[in-house]
Amino acid sequence: MLLGVDVGGTFTDAVIAFDGRVITAKSPTTPHDQSEGVIAAVRTVLAEAGRPASEIREFSHGMTVATNALLEGRGARTALIATEGFTDLIELGRQDRAELYRLCAARPAPLVPPELRFGAPERMTPDGPLRPLSPSAADEVARRVGAEGRAGPESIAVVLLHSYRHPEHERLLGEALARTLPDAHVSLSHEVVGTFREYERAATTEIDAALSPLLASYLRQLVERCDESGLPEPAIMQSNGGLIDLESAAGHAAWTVLSGPAGGAAGAAFVARASGEHDALCFDMGGTSCDVCVVDDGSVQERSAGEVAGRPLALPMLAVHTVGAGGGSIAWRDPGGALRVGPQSAGADPGPACYGRGGTEPTVTDANLLLGYLGSDAPLAGDVELDHGAAEQAVERLASELGLEPLVCAEGIIRVANAEMVRALRVVTVQRGIDPRRYALLAFGGAGGLHAAQIADELGIETILCPRASGVLAALGLVVSPGRRDAQRSVFLSGDSLSVEDIAEGVAELGERARESLHDPEAELQPTFELRYEGQSFELAIQDGPEVEPDELRRAFEAEHEDRYGYSDPEQVLELVTIRVTATSGGADVTLAGDESDERGSEVTRGRREATLRGEPIELEVLRGSPAPGTRIEGPAVVELPESTLLVAPEWSGEVDPTGTIRLERRP
Encode pLDDT of 31-54 as tens digits.
888 999 999 999 999 998 999 999
- Rounded to an integer, what is the distance from CA 435 to the centroid of its chain? 23
Task: Name the band, by pLDDT with cuts 50, 70 and 90, for residue 382.
Answer: low
Cα–Cα distance, 453 to 463 (Å, whole number): 9
Task: Name the band, by pLDDT with cuts 50, 70 and 90, for residue 596.
Answer: very low
Between the CA atoms of 31, 34, 39 and 44, what dihedral angle is there, to the nearest 10 degrees?
40
CB 142 within 8 A of CB 173: yes
Average pLDDT over residues 224-228: 95
561 has pLDDT over 90: yes
Q: What was the pLDDT predicted at 626? A: 87
Task: Name the band, by pLDDT with cuts 50, 70 and 90, for residue 599.
Answer: very low
3-state SS of 114-144 is HHHEEEECCEEECCEEEECCCHHHHHHHHHH
Cα–Cα distance, 251 to 270 (Å, whole number): 29
> Which of 145-149, 170-174, 478-482, 630-634 has the weakest average pLDDT?
145-149
Query: CA angle at residue 151 from 148 to 157, to 5 degrees?
Result: 60
Query: CA angle at residue 613 from 611 to 618, to 5 degrees?
Result: 45
Average pLDDT over residues 478-490: 94
Cα–Cα distance, 384 to 638 (Å, whole number): 19
Q: What was the pLDDT predicted at 349? A: 75
Q: pLDDT of 525-544, one tens digit each?
A: 999 999 999 999 899 999 99
Q: What was the pLDDT predicted at 598? A: 47
The per-residue pLDDT of the chain, averaged, comes to 91
Q: pLDDT of 318-362, one tens digit each?
A: 999 888 888 889 999 999 999 999 888 887 678 899 988 888 999
595 has pLDDT over 50: no
14 has pLDDT over 60: yes
Domain ranges across the chain? 71-217, 483-584
Task: Name the band, by pLDDT with cuts 50, 70 and 90, for residue 588.
Answer: confident
Task: Name the band, by pLDDT with cuts 50, 70 and 90, for residue 594.
Answer: low
Q: How far is CA 198 from CA 96, 130, 601, in A?
A: 15, 17, 55
Q: pLDDT of 55-71, one tens digit each?
A: 999 999 999 888 888 87
664 has pLDDT over 50: yes
3-state SS of 486-515 is EEEEEEEEEHHHCCHHHHHHHHHHHHHHHH
CATH number of the 483-584 domain: 3.30.1490
CB 325 within 8 A of CB 342: yes
SS3 state at 524: strand
28 has pLDDT over 90: no
Average pLDDT over residues 9-27: 87
The strand order across the sheet containing 185-188 reads 117-120, 78-83, 155-159, 185-188
Q: pLDDT of 163-190, one tens digit each?
A: 999 999 999 999 999 999 999 999 999 9
Q: pLDDT of 108-138, one tens digit each?
A: 999 999 999 999 999 999 999 999 999 999 9
Alpha helices in 50-119 (DSSP H): 65-72, 89-92
Q: How far is CA 245 from CA 407, 509, 519, in A?
A: 50, 22, 9
Q: What was the pLDDT predicted at 465? A: 96
CB 185 within 8 A of CB 212: yes
pTM of the model: 0.89
384 has pLDDT over 90: no
602 has pLDDT over 60: no
CATH number of the 71-217 domain: 3.40.50
Q: pLDDT of 74-103, one tens digit each?
A: 899 999 999 999 999 999 998 888 888 888
Q: pLDDT of 640-662, one tens digit each?
A: 998 899 999 999 999 999 988 99
SS3 state at 376: coil
SS3 state at 663: strand
